[in-house]
């Protein structure tokens, strides 16, 4: 049988008393569907009560031709005829079987939902999820804090200095280039924008005051914490999450290691040590960037800049920003480690929770910074 030859559709109808035989042959494809459909619709069943569909002479059959055969069979059955046989070449049997099966599948019904109700449901589910997440993080922070206090009370055998130093290097020293560059540029931007506005009032020298107070109290520690949240907080989640996917954490627990002592506390302590130092470095780099911009934009020399900065800021101004750094570091490390331990055993979960840890860390850092601002304002600091 040459399946590539297109001989045109053949349809023969024989009516013998109450028996109807329909013989299909040739090429039943979409290109001949119109002619075949017209012939099939013109079939006169007479008084037949039984029928046979013989398609063994078919040389070409596609899904359209198969559907026409199946539709004819259904039409005959719908007219009350009993189908004795329905035969096609073996090569097309699976195609016809699929067409017969699929026509019984009910069309998909699109559920129509009330827009307001759906919106309220999403809000409720999101609120519930946030509350559950908040409770989980608070419980985890409490547990790790207790473990940390136990370690500080009895450090022998629990305080892993090598791991802490390694984390200080990873999150602190290795972050110096990116933090320094970004804070230098931020200092340039703040100085330029401040000078551009203060020129209108002939108070260009106050650009130094605004730069010093803004960077030392707020901008330095806030931007540094956000950078570290994106760099190191996400790394904590990815590292611990990958270990969980590879079942390394299960193996550590099996041999009796305390996960908090081995994985969590070194990262927390390392970041708490490194972030205040990074904040001090960021403040210096922002001041340098602002001084460079003041020199080229306003003609303020370095000695004049330093003298004006000394008059504008006090030690309290510097300490206000520096006090926030350990708190931000603690929150960033807690969130990063918590999400890492919540990773499921698949790669997609690692990426999803890494992104979540960054978002949560940045959000909490900004909320805490706002809280510090309110408290310091009430205290008159």
DSSP-assigned states of every residue in 176-191? HHHHHHHHHHHHHHHH
- The CATH number covering residue 25 comes to 3.30.750.24
Picking from 201-205, 209-213, 241-245, 360-364, which range would have the lowest pLDDT averaged per residue? Answer: 201-205
Q: What pLDDT score does 51 carry?
A: 85
294 within 8 A of 360, measured Cβ to Cβ: no
Question: Residue 330 domain-assigned?
Answer: yes
Q: Are residues 205 and 322 in the same domain?
A: yes
Q: What pLDDT score does 27 carry?
A: 86
Question: Residue 63 domain-assigned?
Answer: yes
Q: Are residues 39 and 172 in the same domain?
A: no
270 within 8 A of 170, measured Cβ to Cβ: yes
- Which domain, by its residues, includes 67? 9-102
Q: Which has more pLDDT, 177 or 20? A: 177
> How many other CB atoms are there within 10 angstroms of residue 106's CB atom?
5
Question: Residue 122 domain-assigned?
Answer: no
DSSP string, 214-231: HIIIIIHHHHHHHHHIII
| Distance, CA of 297 to CA of 187 (rounded, Å) | 13
Domain boundary among 67, 102, 137: 102
Question: Residue 255 domain-assigned?
Answer: yes
Question: Residue 96 domain-assigned?
Answer: yes
372 within 8 A of 243, measured Cβ to Cβ: no
Write the CB contacts of 340 (distance below 8 Å, at least 6 apart in sequence): 236, 237, 238, 239, 240, 241, 243, 244, 353, 357
Write the CB contacts of 119 (distance below 8 Å, at least 6 apart in sequence): none
- 85: its two tokens: 């046989």
- 99: its two tokens: 């067409």
Closest CA to 100 of 114, 88, 82: 88
pTM, rounded to two decimals: 0.67
Quick one: 247 exposed, middle or buried, by C-beta within 10 A (0-12, 13-18, 19+)? exposed
Instruction: Indicate if the pLDDT at residue 5 is higher than 60.
Output: no
Q: Are residues 184 and 37 in the same domain?
A: no
Q: What are the backbone dihedrals phi and psi of residue 18, each rounded to the nearest 5 degrees, phi first?
A: -105, 15
| Distance, CA of 158 to CA of 261 (rounded, Å) | 6
175 within 8 A of 275, measured Cβ to Cβ: no
| Distance, CA of 245 to CA of 353 (rounded, Å) | 13
Instruction: Indicate if the pLDDT at residue 6 is higher than 70.
Output: no
Q: Are residues 76 and 172 in the same domain?
A: no
Q: Are residues 182 and 81 in the same domain?
A: no
Q: What pLDDT score does 369 carry?
A: 92
Q: Collapse the DSSP code of 28 into the 3-class scheme (helix H, G, I; strand E, B; otherwise coil) and give the result.
A: strand
The band of 330, judged by pLDDT with boundaries at 50, 70 and 90, is very high
b vs e for 325-344, b when ≥16 Cβ sit within 10 Å of the residue's Cβ? bebbbbbbbbbbbbbbbbbe
Q: Are residues 374 and 274 in the same domain?
A: yes
Q: How many structural domains comprise the chain?
A: 2
Write the CB contacts of 244 (distance below 8 Å, at least 6 apart in sequence): 250, 340, 341, 343, 345
Picking from 21-25, 63-67, 85-89, 148-152, which range would have the lowest pLDDT averaged per residue? Answer: 148-152
The band of 114, judged by pLDDT with boundaries at 50, 70 and 90, is low
Question: Residue 133 domain-assigned?
Answer: no
Percent of the chain at pLDDT > 90 equals 27
Question: Residue 85 domain-assigned?
Answer: yes
Question: Residue 141 domain-assigned?
Answer: no
> How many other CB atoms are there within 10 angstroms of residue 154's CB atom?
10
| Distance, CA of 127 to CA of 121 (rounded, Å) | 10
Q: Are residues 74 and 180 in the same domain?
A: no
| Distance, CA of 366 to CA of 100 (rounded, Å) | 62
61 within 8 A of 31, measured Cβ to Cβ: no
In the predicted model, what is the mean pLDDT of residues 208-220? 90
Q: Are residues 30 and 178 in the same domain?
A: no
Enumerate helices (H) and strands (E) in the chain, giving the number of each.
Answer: 15, 4
Long-range contacts of 166-169 (CB under 8 A, 24+ apart): 166/266, 166/270, 167/266, 167/267, 167/269, 167/270, 167/271, 167/274, 168/270, 168/273, 168/274
Q: Are residues 171 and 297 in the same domain?
A: yes
Q: What pLDDT score does 342 carry?
A: 87
Q: Are residues 184 and 316 in the same domain?
A: yes
């Amino acid at each position: 049988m040459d399946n590539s030859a297109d001989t045109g559709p053949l349809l023969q109808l024989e009516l013998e008393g109450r028996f109807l035989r329909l013989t299909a042959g040739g090429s039943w494809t979409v290109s001949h569907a119109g002619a075949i459909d017209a012939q099939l619709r013109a079939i006169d069943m007479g008084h037949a009560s039984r029928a046979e569909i013989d398609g063994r002479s078919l040389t070409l059959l596609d899904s359209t031709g198969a559907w026409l055969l199946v539709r004819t069979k259904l039409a005959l059955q719908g007219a009350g005829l009993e189908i004795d046989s329905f035969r096609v070449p073996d090569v097309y049997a699976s195609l016809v079987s699929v067409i017969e099966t699929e026509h019984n599948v009910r069309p998909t019904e699109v559920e129509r939902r009330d827009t307001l109700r759906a919106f309220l449901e999403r809000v409720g589910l999101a609120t519930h999820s946030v509350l559950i997440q908040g409770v989980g993080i608070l419980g985890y922070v409490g547990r790790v804090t207790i473990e940390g206090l136990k370690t500080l009370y009895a450090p022998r055998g629990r305080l892993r200095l090598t791991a802490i130093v390694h984390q200080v290097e990873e999150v602190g020293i290795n972050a110096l280039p990116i933090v320094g560059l970004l804070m230098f540029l931020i200092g340039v931007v703040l100085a330029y924008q401040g000078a551009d506005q203060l020129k209108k009032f002939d108070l260009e020298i106050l650009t130094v005051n605004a730069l010093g107070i803004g960077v030392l109290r707020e901008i330095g520690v806030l931007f540094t914490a956000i950078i570290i949240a994106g760099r190191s907080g996400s790394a904590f989640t990815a590292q611990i999450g990958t270990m969980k996917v590879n079942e390394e954490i299960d193996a550590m627990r099996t041999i009796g290691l305390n996960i908090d002592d081995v994985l969590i506390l070194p990262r927390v302590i390392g970041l708490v040590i490194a972030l205040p130092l990074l904040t001090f470095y960021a403040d210096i780099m922002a001041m340098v960037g602002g001084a460079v911009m003041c020199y080229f934009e306003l003609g303020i020399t370095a000695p004049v800049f330093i003298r004006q900065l000394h008059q504008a800021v006090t030690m309290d101004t510097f300490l206000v920003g520096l006090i926030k750094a350990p708190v931000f570091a603690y929150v960033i490390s807690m969130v990063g480690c918590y999400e890492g331990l919540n990773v499921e055993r698949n790669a997609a979960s690692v990426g999803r929770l890494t992104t979540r840890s960054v978002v949560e860390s940045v959000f909490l850092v900004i909320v805490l910074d706002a809280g510090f601002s309110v408290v310091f304002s009430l205290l008159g600091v």
